[in-house]
Amino acid sequence: MALAGARLFVEEGAHVFIQGRRQQALDEAVKLIGRNVTAVQGDASDLKGAIDVLWASAGIGEQARLGEITEAQFEATFSLNARGTLFTVQKALPLLNDGASIFMTGSSASRKGYPGWSVYAGSKAVQQAWARVWLNELKDRRIRVNVLTPGQVATAKQEELFDEATKKAFESLIPRGQMGRPEEIATVALFLASDDSSYVNGMELVTDGGTTVI
């Protein structure tokens, strides 16, 4: 989803910085995007200049029901999804322009209550609280903070995580009977990044095809 968003942002005239842990994945992303993109491995605080939009989109998850959850699984999931998001935003603060837009990628798992996903759901649910607190802390700088919460999206990560039966089960929960496409999430991300959403602040924008409301 973040890759599709980066490509769309570049098409709209932005210069995009993408940050990640694996250099090979970053190199492949730069090649796919093609232009106006800078890859940063590891610490995003090394960036120079000023930032208008910060999209914190990293996330991992592993299925385990209550009674089977290990401390290692909990630590790994919360370390990236919660701690990683918080400190990415915090380290970027000095680089953010006044009037900037921050948004984080949530998950419909925190709204729907899928069995086996309590750790992942919890690690994403914290973002809704952070958005409300941070917009108050940053209001003097007119920085907006929102959460973009996608539903099931057909990504490479989904292919790794789910077998065909699981994918069909998830698709049966979606009113249109089909997972979302990364490009459909990217257009919502572009909205949150742009001045078109200048009056949207502290909100969770759920983009799941209606899954969590039925």
Active-site option among 17, 120, 130, 134 = 120
Annotation marks residue 120 as catalytic: yes
Contact 38, 17 (CB under 8 A): yes
CA distance 123 to 118: 9
φ/ψ of 139, rounded to 5, equals -65, -30
What secondary structure does DSSP assign to the chain, as a single string? -HHHHHHHHHHTT--EEEEES-HHHHHHHHHHH-SSEEEEES-GGG--S-EEEEEE---------TTT--HHHHHHHHIIIIIIHHHHHHHHGGGEEEEEEEEEE--THHHH--TT-HHHHHHHHHHHHHHHHHHHHTGGGT-EEEEEEE--B--HHHHHH--HHHHHHHHTTSTTSS-B-HHHHHHHHHHHHSGGGTT--S-EEEESTTGGG-
Give catalytic residue positions.
120
